A and B are shown apart, each in its own frame.
Chain A
Amino acid sequence: MSDIPPATPEAAPSPAAARRAGGAPAAVRHGLTILLPAVAVFAVAPRIYPNGALLFAMMTFLVLAQGINVIFGFTGYLPFGYVGFFGTGAYAASLALLRLHLAWPLAMLAGAVAAALLALLLMPLLRLSGAYFAIASLAAAEAMYQLVSNPALVPITNGPYGLSLQAVYDGPVSYGAMVGVLALTLAILIYLRTSRFGLALQAIRDDPASAATAGVDVVRSRALAWLLSALMAGLAGGVYAWHVSVFYPDTVFDLSFTVFAIVFVLFGGPATILGPLFGTLALYGLYDAIGISTPQYFQFIYGLLIVVLVLFLPEGLVSLLRRRGIRVP
């Protein structure tokens, strides 16, 4: 046994401290091997592949899945009402475009800010855990939906009749904006995957009391994760609204956004960068291939997948690699 216990104030830092689970070199590596290729593919794909709507929807789900990854995969809070931030972002950005005539980057920012404000308002929900949090966040999203679609608010939100952004529609630029949002999202995930803050969030997920004992400010850290994930959904919602340009409250507050994104995360593997990325590409691809033409088969496969995943692969597909000792970023 070492006769110099480490618990002394005079213990010096060592070079080993530099060799920790990530740090700057890993972040750069992930940037070059994950972020850059993903962004390049989506930026170039419309020139080669004609179905821009699919590409755009895929990016939207990639962002949503990673947003859920931040608050669920890393921090352990399952937000069934996550779509509330998406819808709020969609409406805030659209109203900023239509009523305030803001330039599009500012309008998209307004969408993100509105979602973050909603997250701030809902902060007390983080005191709940497990199913209670999931249900309370769902109720909050439903409340947001009822508020926006309320006929009394027709002069502002146009109530249940939806909004049309056709006057300010710009297909290529809004597509490009979503590529930008995707890049930002992946950058955030790379940061979480390689930083001590990401480890702190996972510590909170595994055991909040131990995390506090280890010196992690649990309340502040999980609040940051919550805001970050709301921000991502708000941005995605704003750009989505602008790109589809005609939408109704039940389009952008549709619960299936949340459900899809959660399943994509679970399928690929929470708390990784690649898991949700792969989960979205595979399952949304499947949805696009058969979900619209023969929805009954899709729903059957989908339901089966959820059951099998929960029973046999609760840590997603990446856990198959992890069991073989392969570290998945």
Chain B
Amino acid sequence: MSREAILQVRDLVKRFSGFPALDGLSLAVGEGEVLGLVGPNGSGKTTAINVISGLIRPDGGSVQVGGRSASGLAAHQLARLGVNRTYQVPRPFVGLTVRQNVEVAAHYGGRGHAEADVDEVLAFVGLEGEADRPAGSLNSAQQKMLDLARALAARPRLLLVDELGAGLGPADLETVRARLAALAQRGVALVVVEHLMNFLASLTDRVVVMNAGRAIFEGDLTAAARDPQVVQVFLGG
């Protein structure tokens, strides 16, 4: 499989009232690659995803998507470039039906090509039976899947997954893992933020360990667990 870099992040800086949430983060993800993003709470993982997906503007550094500069683009522009995401706490359009939620993304998020097939997307995440229900009436596991469906309807080349597994039972977790693996198989680049190490180990090719807004380790998960700096960050001492 070719590993053309879909996402290239260099020296990303983001400060919140002076506090450096991102302090020179660099990472790259290739086509079909699954990159795990790990680190203790507050290390900047979600901020990194918020900046890459255009929800907040970086104070410095650059983001390239498919070789083109994407620094400072708004979220809707990035969505149309093929960058999409799920949210840590699902954020459905509660007043719309499940189908309409996905329809909005299929129509507005498509990259000028044919629109994604809403039914196919719903079937892929297992929500085909809930299509006409109000999104607000879904349970939280279903809302997570709806977040994923909406992201997929925009036909992403790069999908940022922020703790999709958190709070799911073992069976659901395995389904989610299989779905994400299937996406990677089709060439979608994935950045997965997750605290569940078994989940990451079975899904990712590579992990980046973050601490205090920068990458302190890059490699496979087993090597990370042996890295003295990573151990210190997680366990203290």
CB neighbours of A4 from chain B (8 A): 120
The one of A5, A14, A210, A212 in contact with B124, judged by C-beta atoms closer than 8 angstroms, is A5
Which residues of the partner chain B approach A44 to less than 8 Å between Cβ atoms?
none
Q: Which of A2, A9, A196, A210 contacts B150 (CB 8 A)?
A: A210
A271 CA to B96 CA, complexed, in Å: 11
Report A194-241 residues with CB < 8 Å from chain B CB: 196, 199-200, 202-203, 205-207, 209-218
**B120 and A14 form a contact (CB under 8 A):** yes
Q: B92, A216: Cβ atoms under 8 Å?
A: no
A213 touches B75 (CB 8 A): yes
Cβ-based interface call for A7 (8 A): yes
- Is A6 interfacial (CB-CB < 8 Å)? yes
B182 pairs with A3, CB closer than 8 A = yes
Q: Smallest distance from the beta carbon of A269 to chain B beta carbons, Å?
A: 11
Query: How far in angstroms is the closest Cβ of chain A from B142?
Result: 16
Q: How many chain A residues touch B (Cβ–Cβ < 8 Å)?
A: 36
Distance of A104 from chain B, by nearest CB (Å) = 40
Per-position binary interface string of chain A over residues 163-203, scored 1 when its CB falls under 8 Å from any chain B CB and 0 otherwise: 00000000000000000000000000000000010011011
B-side residues, CB < 8 A to A, are: 53-55, 74-76, 79-80, 84-85, 87, 91-97, 99-101, 103-105, 107-111, 113-121, 123-124, 126, 150-156, 159, 175, 178-179, 182-183, 186-188
Which A residues lie at the B interface, using CB under 8 A? Answer: 1-9, 11-14, 16-17, 20-21, 196, 199-200, 202-203, 205-207, 209-218, 271
List, in ascending order, chain A residues with CB within 8 A of B115's CB: 13, 17
Q: Are B79 and A7 in contact (CB under 8 A)?
A: no
Contacts of A17 in B (CB 8 A): 115, 117-118
Alpha-carbon distance A218/B101, docked complex (angstroms): 15
- 10 nearest interchain CB pairs? A215-B109, A215-B108, A212-B75, A214-B105, A206-B93, A215-B79, A13-B114, A210-B91, A7-B152, A6-B120
Which among A8, A9, A11, A211 is the interface contact of B104 at CB below 8 angstroms? A211
